[in-house]
């Protein structure tokens, strides 16, 4: 089963935070499907989480990888290092990376290729800004982001896409569930029609998903799962969202 619910811890955590999180999660999560759950932790904790005696089988991954495999790139980590430390996925092209670190479509395509080469699943993030939404060009922006990155890939075989409207991240605001559903449908159409050789495992929604709105979003048939930031920082809350997901999707 592909990854369905991924916790994006961003720049949060510590060794004791990891231990407490796993304990709290295990107490409340009711499903058997821990392998469809992931934690994108700060890279420095990947190995600890992957080998942790309290990890019930949750996949561990990174929030970013470098666009080259190795070299004089002080501060970067490679897809092969993530794999070597027990990780099996990486977020690629998150809007915070695009905005704060100037990541371009070409950078993202190189990262997608390297993830594929290292046998880790890339979680490729796309999403429109508030201005783009207000201009009514969301569909066009998403199409450009998808095509701009994927057409430059040479080795990518399989991926997950996370649709994350930039204006929704951390804001408490989300698009209407029906709107999310139709955007996911469009994303799947674009990938299937333009890149039919690629295995698109899932399209996740991300942006202010929490215990209150999870059920209305998961009820949409084209929503395969979620990438969750703020509401994933407590193991108990992530477990609750996981239980809601299992109930609705019948897992």
- Point out the residues that are catalytic: 94, 164
235 makes contact with ligand PGA (CB under 6 A): no
CA torsion angle 181 184 190 191 (round to 10) = -140
From the list 66-74, 97-105, 136-144, 207-215, the region that binds ligand PGA by CB under 6 A is 207-215
242 makes contact with ligand PGA (CB under 6 A): no
From the list 70-78, 153-161, 222-230, 234-242, the region that binds ligand PGA by CB under 6 A is 222-230
Nearest in space to 204 (alpha carbons), one of 137, 125, 140: 125
160 makes contact with ligand PGA (CB under 6 A): no
Structure-block tokens of residue 185: 């449908």
From the CB of residue 32, how many other CB atoms can be counted at a distance below 10 Å?
A: 11
Say which DSSP state 68 is in. Answer: S
Nearer to ligand PGA, 157 or 171 (CB): 171
From the list 80-88, 132-140, 180-188, 221-229, the region that binds ligand PGA by CB under 6 A is 221-229
93 makes contact with ligand PGA (CB under 6 A): no
8: left (phi over 0), alpha (psi -120 to 50) or beta: beta
Nearest in space to 223 (alpha carbons), one of 194, 188, 191, 192: 188
In the complex, the residues that contact ligand PGA under the rule CB under 6 A are: 8, 164, 169-170, 206-209, 227-231
């Amino acid at each position: 089963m592909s990854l369905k619910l991924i916790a994006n811890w961003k720049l949060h955590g510590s060794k004791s935070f990891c231990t407490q999180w796993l304990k709290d999660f295990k107490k409340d999560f009711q499903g058997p499907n821990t392998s469809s759950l992931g934690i994108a932790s700060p890279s420095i904790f990947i190995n600890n989480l992957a080998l942790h005696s309290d990890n019930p089988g949750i996949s561990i991954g990174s929030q970013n990888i470098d666009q080259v495999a190795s070299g004089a790139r002080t501060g970067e980590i490679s897809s092969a290092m993530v794999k070597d430390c027990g990780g099996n996925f990486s977020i690629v092209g998150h809007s915070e990376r695009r905005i704060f670190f100037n990541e371009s479509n070409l950078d993202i395509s190189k990262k997608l290729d390297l993830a594929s080469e290292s046998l880790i699943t890339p979680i490729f993030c796309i999403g429109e800004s508030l201005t783009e939404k207000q201009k009514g060009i969301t569909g066009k922006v998403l199409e450009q982001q998808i095509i701009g990155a994927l057409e430059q890939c040479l080795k990518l075989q399989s991926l997950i896409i996370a649709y994350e409207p930039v204006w929704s991240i951390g804001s408490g605001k989300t698009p209407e569930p029906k709107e999310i559903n139709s955007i996911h449908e469009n994303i799947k159409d674009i990938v299937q029609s333009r890149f039919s050789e690629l295995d698109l495992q899932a399209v996740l929604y991300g942006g202010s998903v929490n215990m209150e709105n999870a059920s209305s979003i998961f009820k949409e048939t084209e929503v395969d799962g979620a990438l969750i930031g703020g509401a994933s920082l407590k193991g108990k809350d992530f477990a609750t969202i996981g239980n809601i997901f299992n109930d609705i999707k019948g897992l």
